[in-house]
Structures are given as structure tokens and as C-alpha cells.
Amino acid sequence: MALAGFADTSSRKTVAPMRKSRVVILLLLPGIAYLGLFFLAPLVALLITSFQAPDPNSFDFGAYVYAFEWQNYVAGVAEYWPIFLRSFFYAIVATVAALVIGYPIAYFIGVYLRGRASLQAFTLILVVAPFFISFLLRTLAWKQILGDDSWLVTTLKSLSIMPADGHITGTAFSVIFGLTYNFIPFMVLPIYASLERLDLRYLEASSDLYSRPSTTFFKVTLPLSLPGVVSGTLLTFIPASGDYINASDDFLGGPSTQMVGNQIQSNFLKLLDYPMAAVLSVVLMGIIMAIVTFYVRRSGTEDLV
Amino acid sequence: MRLSLGRWLLPLYTALALILLLIPIAYTFVFSFNDYFKTNIDWQGFTFRNWTNVCDAQGLCSAFGNSLMIGVVSTVLATAMGTALALALARYKFRGRSIISLLIFVPMATPEVVLAAGLASQFFTLNVEKGLGTVILAHTLFCLSFVVVTVKARVASLDPALEEAGRDLYAPPSQVFWRITFPLLVPGILAAALLSFALSFDDFIITYFNSGSLQTFPTFIYISASRGVPAEANVIASAVFIITLALVVTSQVVSRARAKALKRNA
């Protein structure tokens, strides 16, 4: 009896944490296994593919074998470095433009409309409204609005604002415009979330101490909204640098505006040069990770991740 | 205080910026009524024909149906796994927690084209034929992280006093979960599911790399872009836009009314 009682209590004592740990494992297992199988394993597959060489025993197009062909990387960088530079240049300009355009919108919703909850909600819905309509159709709409035969371009030409042989679509400008346009909501939302929590008394304190509005903005408002700015710029920069819809011929780009994403797609799906597509993907991901890590460290918001 | 210029300059600026944001939506909507012939680029005249005969555009309706099905299945999968992950991360302390958080974060920081090429290489290496299955697997992957983040925020904002009250009243843990925690999480889970569906429905890059010959609504638009997208595609996009907008506005109004009612009772 005593023994049974002892056994009972001891098992009871261990049951609660035991069951708890079993619950955690049950909760974690499906998701973690999924991420392992369909996120980590594909990255490994990509790395392996990037070292492949054409199959010497096969005349099939697109047949490759593993060969630790590290020269693939040398060839990829040598051939595509101007395109990498262009991609990151476009992405950085688009990110800065989205920040400059988006910050005042976020400020308006988070600070100016403070206390008017329904107006805030209404404006926020308008900001995210573009997400509710197809990304590709949105971009095609700009292509048609800015196209060579469009009303806008013919008017600008007849007013001699634009040269008669000028184009908007197919240029770096239209690609950067498209990237900026498509990612502005990603910029506005996190900045809004930061500004919404901003204590307005800090702004009052600053103006009570006779600082000019611009000083208040740069010394108080902007630093306090920095976490939002950091996540907004990352949410814009990362997809922008990998995007290839805006830059593709059928959308806002042309032959001279190709980005890394276009090259990855054509290598993978058209040329069936899987190793080269993999090399470009690995290099793109490596550069983005390096930039993101450096940027997050510099801005001192490591707890963001 | 507030910039004095901002009194009227800031609202004016925001209004202009919002108009710019909304121009392509208006364009897509207006051109869904275009009485087009072959290409839907110039305005030919007003018609309801595209709205009444949406499926006249060859391949459009089946692509749309595929998109709906892929969206629903991958949303269900991602929401189930993501909610479980969010609960584990927000409620339990265990070894390897920070690594798991990182594993969930990195897919969101990975450019889509890299995810797309990675999955396609994996399916290619394993000789898996691309199609409906591979697209669903791929969509579930990129939706998963977004579900975790959304639901985790909701779990973190729950008032622990409510669950304590349940335990004080001798409810067993499972009852506390299903009668208190879960119902309180439902709005967060629904928001995550809506986000996940929207991400899946509008995804092009990952889909295009992994769909083989299967068409979804975005790949249909991409492929027809070179020879002109039929106005019927604008009809579907506009209809989806209106339905989503209605859902979002309703959920806003309902949650606001609920919050007000709660305040009155308190």
C-alpha cells in the first residue's frame, strides 16, 4: 500500500511536465518537419545543384551529375556581376523611394489621425487595398498607363516634356517605379505600427524645449520609429532585389533592365541550365543575408529577428 | 508639436499618394467592362459581356479554380501547423527555441525566387512530377511562417488571468485550452488564414517554378501578358478585390462593435 501510494505520487509528480514536453513535441513536430523537408532540404538541393556539371554520358539537354564543379561560381559571377549590381541598385533606389513616399503616409495615419480610430482603419485599408488585387494585373495596368501609345505618354510628347522618341516602359525608371509601387504597403505598415505607439508627449516636450519641428522630427520622432523603418526597409528590399516581374519584358522592363531573378528564371526554365540558376540563387541569397545582417547590426535593432 | 505645415500639406500629400496607389485598381476595374476585341489595351466601349460570360476566355476559369483549391488546401495545412508552432513558441520553454524561431523567420527573409528554385531543384532531383501537389506543398511552406508570426502575436496578447481563472475553477488543461484559450485565439487564427489564402492566391514566382503544365490565375495572366490579357481576367481580379474588401471591412466593423460592447459591459 505504502509502496503503491509512493509510486502513485511520484508518477503524478512527473506526469505533468512529461505530458507537457510531449505536448510541445506534438505541437512542434509537424511544422518543424515541414520546414526541414521543404525549406532546408531545398536549400541543400540548391547547393548541390550549383556544383553540378553536364552529364558526360548523356546527350540529353538538361542532364547533370554531381561533380563539385566550384568553377560554376567563378563563371556565374564573371558573367552576371553587372546584373547583380543592377538588381541591388534598383532594389536600393526603390527601397529609399518607398521610404520617402511611405513614411509621411504612416505618419499621417499613426500620428495625425491619432484618436480617430475609424478614419485610421479606413486609411489603412486603402493602403493595403492593392494587395487585394492581382500583383501581375496591377503591374500590367502601369505598363498600359505608361506605355508608348498611352494617353499619358502621347500628351507628354505633344507638350514636348518628353522627347518624341522617348519611352517610359522598358527603362530603369519604370522598373524602379514598379518596384517602389508594389512594395510601398510593406513599408507603410511596420512604420505605422511603430508610430502608432509613439507617445505624443515626447513631441510636446521637444517643442516645449524650443526645438524646431524639423529638429523634433529628426531627434525624436524618427529615432523612436526606427524599428518600423528597419523592418519596412527589409520587407521592401528583400522582395525587390529578388523580383523579376517588374523587370521582365512583358511587364515594365526591357532587355537592358534584366535583374538576377530574370536570369534565374531563364536559366532554370528556358535554358535548363540548373547549375547556373542554382549558383545565381545561392549568390543572391548570400548577398542578401550579408546585407540584412550588417544592416540590422548597424541599426541596433537585433531583437527584431 | 505637429508640423504646422502638416495641417493641410500632410493630408493632401497622403490623399495624392493613396490615389497613386489606387490607380491600377481603378484601371483594372474599368477595363473589366471594356468591349475588347483580341487585346484589352484601348478602350472600345462599355459592356457587361465580360462579367456575364467570364469563362469565355479559354483556360481562365480552370486556372481560377486551381488557384482557389490550392489556396484553400495550403491555407488549411499552413494554418494547422503554424498555429501549433505558434502555441509551442509562445507558451513553452524548451531547448533549441531560438534556433526554431530562426528557422521560421528565415523563409520570410529569403527572396521568393530562391525558394522557388530550391523547391524546383528538390522536386527535380527526386524526380517528382510538377503539378497540383508540388504547388500545394510549396504554397504551404511560404504561408507557414506568416501564420506562425500572426498567431504568435495573438497568443502573446492574451490575458493570462483568463486561463488562470479557468484553472482556479478546476478545469483540466485540455478544457482550459478548448473552452478558453482556443476561442480567444480564433480571430488571430482567422486573420492568419486570410493572409495565408491571399498570399497563396496571388503568388506567381514560386508557382511558376513548380507548377509544370498546371495553370493558376497568376500564371495564366503571366502567360497571356505577351499577347494581351483578356478582360475576363480583370473581371475575376475585380470580383476578388470586392469580396476581399467586403470581408476586411466587415471584420473591422464587427471587431470594433465587439470592443465597444465589451467596454460598455466592463
Alpha carbons A267 and A281: distance in angstroms, whole number: 11
A120, A188 contact by CB (below 8 A): no
Q: What is the pTM of this model?
A: 0.86
A65: helix, coil or strand? strand
Query: With 60 as the cut, is the pLDDT of residue A1 above it?
Result: no
* Domain ranges for chain B: 58-229
Helix (H) or strand (E) holding A140: helix A135-146
How does pLDDT run across A236-291, given as a tens digit for each residue?
A: 999 999 998 999 888 898 888 899 999 999 999 888 888 999 999 999 999 999 98
Query: What's the mean pLDDT in B166-172?
Result: 90
C-alpha cell of B79?
494554418
CATH of the domain at A276: 1.10.3720.10
Test A281 with B113 for CB contact under 8 angstroms.
yes
Q: How far is B169 from chain A (nearest CA, A)?
A: 18
Three-class DSSP category at B229:
coil
A295 touches chain B (CB under 8 A): no
Cell of B176: 482550459
CA dihedral B141, A194, B157, B188 (to 10 degrees): -40
pLDDT of residue B68: 95
Nearest in space to B29 (alpha carbons), one of A281, A129, A160, A202 = A129
Given a contact cutoff of 8 angstroms between Cβ atoms, the answer to whether A275 and A50 are in contact is yes
A279, A286, A287: which is closest to A73 by C-alpha? A279
**Residues A107 and B5 sit within 8 Å (Cβ to Cβ):** no
Q: What pLDDT is attached to residue A93?
A: 97
Q: A33: nearest CA in chain B?
A: B81
| pLDDT of A305 over the 70 cut | no
Number of domains in chain A: 1
Q: Do A285 and B104 touch (CB under 8 A)?
A: no
Q: What is the pLDDT of residue B81?
A: 96
Residue A129 lies in a domain: yes
Whether the CB of B64 is below 8 Å from some CB of chain A: the reply is no
**For position A173, what pLDDT does the model report?**
92
A90 part of contact set with chain B, CB < 8 Å? no
Chain A residue numbers touching B27 (CB-CB < 8 A): 141, 144-145
pLDDT at A61 over 60: yes
Q: Do A244 and B118 touch (CB under 8 A)?
A: no
CA-nearest residue to B139 within chain A is: A38
ipTM of the complex: 0.87
Cβ of A18 under 8 Å from any chain B Cβ?
no
Domain that includes residue A190, residue range? 78-304
How close does chain B come to A89, measured CA to CA in Å? 16
* Mean per-residue pLDDT over chain A, rounded: 85
The answer on pLDDT for A7 being more than 50 is: no
Of A286, A304, A299, A283, the C-alpha closest to A80 is A283
Dihedral sign of CA atoms A52, A56, A60, A65 in order: negative
Q: Which residue of B has its CA nearest to A273?
A: B121
Model confidence over B44-90: pLDDT tens digits? 888 888 898 888 888 899 999 999 999 999 999 999 999 999 999 98
Residues of B in Cβ contact (< 8 Å) with A117: 256
Q: How far is CA A187 from CA A106, A159, A183, A236, B194, in A?
A: 9, 35, 7, 6, 20
Q: A130 at the B interface (CB within 8 A)?
A: yes
A32 is a domain residue: no
- pLDDT category, B251, cuts 50, 70, 90? confident
Record: contact B144-A34, CB cut-off 8 A: yes
Confidence at A19, pLDDT banded by 50, 70, 90 = low
Check if A281 contacts B (Cβ < 8 Å): yes
| Domain-located, residue A58 | no
Q: Which CATH class is domain B58-229?
A: mainly alpha
pLDDT in tens, B2-51: 455 557 888 999 999 999 999 999 999 999 998 887 778 778 888 888 89
Candidates B8, B121, B152: best to mutate against A (most CBs of A within 10 A) is B121
Establish if A241 touches chain B: CB-CB under 8 angstroms. yes
The model's pLDDT over A112-171, given as tens digits with 9 standing for 90+, comes to 888 888 899 999 999 999 988 989 999 999 998 988 888 888 888 888 787 877 788 888
Q: Is the pLDDT of residue A29 over 60?
A: yes
- Say which residues have a Cβ less than 8 Å from residue B233's Cβ, sequence separation at least 6: A134, A137, B57, B60, B217, B220, B221, B224
Q: Ranked by mean pLDDT, which of A88-102, A285-299, B124-138, B165-179 comes out on top?
A: A88-102
Whether A39 maps to a domain, the answer reads: no
